[in-house]
A = this chain, B = another copy of it.
Amino acid sequence: MASSILSRHLASSLRPSLGLSASGYRHQQTPAKRVEEVEFDGPCMKTEVPGPRSKILAQQLAIQSVVQVNFFCDYEESKGNYLVDVDGNRMLDVYTQIASIPIGYNHLALTKVMTDPKNMVSTLGMMPPEQFSEKLVNDLMAVAPKGFSRVQTMACGSCSNENAYKAIFIWYRVRMRGTPEPTPEEVRTSVINQVPGCPDLTLLSLMGGFHRRTLGCLATTHTKAIQKLDVPSFDWPIAPFPQLRYPLDQFERENAQEEARCQEEVEDLIVKWNQKGRHVAGVVIEPIQAEGGDNHASFDFYRKLRGITKKHGCAFQVDEVQTGGGSTGKFWAHEHWGLDDPADIVSFSKKMLTGGYYQKDSFQPDKLFRIFNTWLGDHTKNLFLTEVIKVIKTENLLDQAKRTVWSFVDKYPHLLSRARGIGTFCAIDVKDEDTHNNLLLKARNKGKTLSMDCGTQSIRFQSALVFTEHHAHLFLDILNDASLSSSRVYTGIQCGPAQTDPYTVNLQRRG
C-alpha cells in the first residue's frame, strides 16, 4: 500500500504545523508564500454560488443548450489557484475543471503563447506545421513514460481511448492472423460490420473504471448508471476492482486477500472468454480509479495485472487521462509501480491539454489511415503543453506535488473516512450522498470549488500543480468551516472592497 503509506507520511509531516484542535482543524500560521506566487492572498466571497449573474446566464443558456453548469467564470480575473466567477466571487480551486488546469489560471507562460499570431489553427493529420515534429520530439517524447518510443496526438480523452482501443484490436488481430494482410472475406465483411472483418474481440475493464463516454469507451466505463443507461453497449468482460478497507495498516491481511481475489478474477475471465472464442485483446485500467470515487489499489496489484496480460498475450492499456501530467508527484501515476515495461499503451488528456496516447512500436498499424481523423489534436494545445512542461520543470512542480497533501479525517470520524491519495491526487469519503452534496455546496460558498461528480460519497481533491502548502492550509480552513456549519445557507466571507485592495482579505486573519 505504498500509495497510502506515502499519503499518511505526508499527512503526518504536515499535521504538527496545522494546529489541529479537538473541536476541529484551524490553521494558525500560514507559511510564507513562495516568491513566484503572484496570485491572490485568499478566497473572497461576495454572493452565494451560483450568484445572481451566473443564474441569469444559466437561464439564457438553458433555453438553447444542455446545461450542467455550476457557475460562470471570469477567466480574465482568475489567477493561479483562484477561480473568479462572474459575480466577483474568488474561490480556491481544488478541482481545476476536472483536473484539467495544469499550472493554474493565466500563467504568464501560456498567455505569451496565446497572443503570438504565429500560433494559428491547423490540422495535424496530413499537413502539420513545421514545428510539429520538433514539438513531438522535444516535448511529448521528453515526458514519455519508460519504454515508449511513439506518440499519437488526439483532440480529447474520448478520442484518445477510442483510438487506443482500435490500435489494440488491430495489433491483436494481426497476431492472430499471422499477417497484416486481410483475406478478401475480411475486406468484404469489415465494411458491413460483420465477422471476420469486424472480429468479435473484447476488452477487459474493471468495475468502477471510467474510460470516458463515447460508445467504445463507454463499454469499458462502469461508474454511474446515468452515464450508460439507454445506450447500447458491447458485451465485454468486467472484473472486480479491489474494495480496500481503511485505515490500510489495520486491514493489511483483508486487503491483500481482496486484491488476490480480483487478480484471480481477471485471469479467469481472460481464460474463459478466450476459450469461448471472444478473445480478450487487451485490459484497460486507471492507475487510480478517478471518477469512480478515487479508488486506489496497491502498486503490487497493478504489477501483477501487468504480469497477467503478458502471460495471456493481451495488451495492457493504462488510462492516464486524469492521473497523468504530474498530480501524483510523478509525471505519470504508473511510474510509482517501478516497472521497466509497465504498459503497451498509455493514454492522456486533461492536464496534458492535448489528448493522445503513447504506444509501443508494435502497436503502430501496418498501413496509413487505419488510425486517423481530420484534426488529430490541436497544434495550439501542443504549444501550450510545451510551456506547461517547461514550467513544471523550472518551478519544480513535481516535487511540490509530492509535498502538498491533506489530513482531515481524524477530526471528523462521524463524518469522514478513507482518506487516500498520492501527491495532490487525494480524496476522502463522507458518510452518505446527502452529507456529500451538503458539504460540497457549503464549501463552495465558503470559497472553494470541489468535485461535484465522483462516486456518491467521495470528495476529490484535484488541484493545479501550482498548489502549495500555503493553499493546503487555506483549503483545510475552509473545509473545517464548511463541515462545522450547520446549514447550507450562504453566510458570506468578509472581504475588503475589491476595487481598492483585492488582497486585504486572507483567511488567516479570520482565525
Given known contacts A114-B117, A226-B369, is B64 in contact with A150 (CB within 8 Å)?
yes
Q: Mark A364-375, 1 if CB is under 8 A from B, else 0.
A: 110111111111
Query: Which DSSP category, helix, strand, loop or mixed, fits chain A's interface?
Result: loop
Q: Complex Cα distance A150/B137, Å?
A: 42
Q: Mark A86-110, 1 if CB is under 8 A from B, else 0.
A: 1000000000011010000110001
Collect the chain B residues with CB atoms within 8 Å of residue A114's CB: 114-115, 117, 119-121
Collect the chain B residues with CB atoms within 8 Å of residue A265's CB: none
On whether the beta carbons of A372 and B128 are closer than 8 Å, the reply is no
On whether the beta carbons of A128 and B369 are closer than 8 Å, the reply is no
Collect the chain B residues with CB atoms within 8 Å of residue A97's CB: 122-123, 126-127, 374
Collect the chain B residues with CB atoms within 8 Å of residue A353's CB: 121
On whether the beta carbons of A372 and B162 are closer than 8 Å, the reply is no
On whether the beta carbons of B373 and A157 are closer than 8 Å, the reply is yes
When C-beta atoms are compared, the residue in chain B nearest to A119 turns out to be B114
B-binding segment of A195-203, A335-343, A463-471:
A195-203
Q: Complex Cα distance A159/B381, Å?
A: 18
Q: Complex Cα distance A224/B368, Å?
A: 13
Min CB–CB distance A259 → chain B (angstroms)? 21
Q: How many of chain A's residues have a CB under 8 angstroms from any CB in B?
A: 127
Q: Complex Cα distance A155/B83, Å?
A: 23
When C-beta atoms are compared, the residue in chain B nearest to A170 turns out to be B230
Min CB–CB distance A93 → chain B (angstroms)? 9
Collect the chain B residues with CB atoms within 8 Å of residue A60's CB: 133, 137
On whether the beta carbons of B86 and A130 are closer than 8 Å, the reply is yes
Given known contacts A158-B162, A165-B215, A193-B233, is B125 in contact with A68 (CB within 8 Å)?
yes
Q: Complex Cα distance A194/B191, Å?
A: 26
User: A70 contacts which of B127, B227, B375 (Cβ < 8 Å)?
Assistant: B127
Collect the chain B residues with CB atoms within 8 Å of residue A224's CB: 191
On whether the beta carbons of A371 and B66 are closer than 8 Å, the reply is yes
When C-beta atoms are compared, the residue in chain B nearest to A72 turns out to be B130
Collect the chain B residues with CB atoms within 8 Å of residue A127's CB: 69-73, 83, 97, 449
Given known contacts A128-B72, A226-B370, A231-B166, is B136 in contact with A65 (CB within 8 Å)?
yes
Collect the chain B residues with CB atoms within 8 Å of residue A216's CB: 214-216
When C-beta atoms are compared, the residue in chain B nearest to A350 turns out to be B374
On whether the beta carbons of B374 and A199 are closer than 8 Å, the reply is no
| A362 contacts partner chain B, Cβ-Cβ < 8 Å | no
On whether the beta carbons of B166 and A129 are closer than 8 Å, the reply is no
Min CB–CB distance A194 → chain B (angstroms)? 7
B-binding segment of A11-19, A234-242, A431-439:
A234-242
Min CB–CB distance A190 → chain B (angstroms)? 4
Given known contacts A159-B159, A186-B229, is B115 in contact with A116 (CB within 8 Å)?
yes
Collect the chain B residues with CB atoms within 8 Å of residue A125's CB: 68-69, 98
Collect the chain B residues with CB atoms within 8 Å of residue A173's CB: 230
A352-411 residues at the B interface, CB under 8 angstroms: 353, 364-365, 367-375, 378, 380-381, 384
Would you list 14 pairs from A and B whose C-beta atoms are within 8 A, ordered by A residue? A60-B137, A61-B136, A64-B151, A65-B136, A65-B153, A66-B365, A66-B368, A97-B123, A98-B374, A170-B230, A198-B232, A214-B216, A234-B234, A349-B374
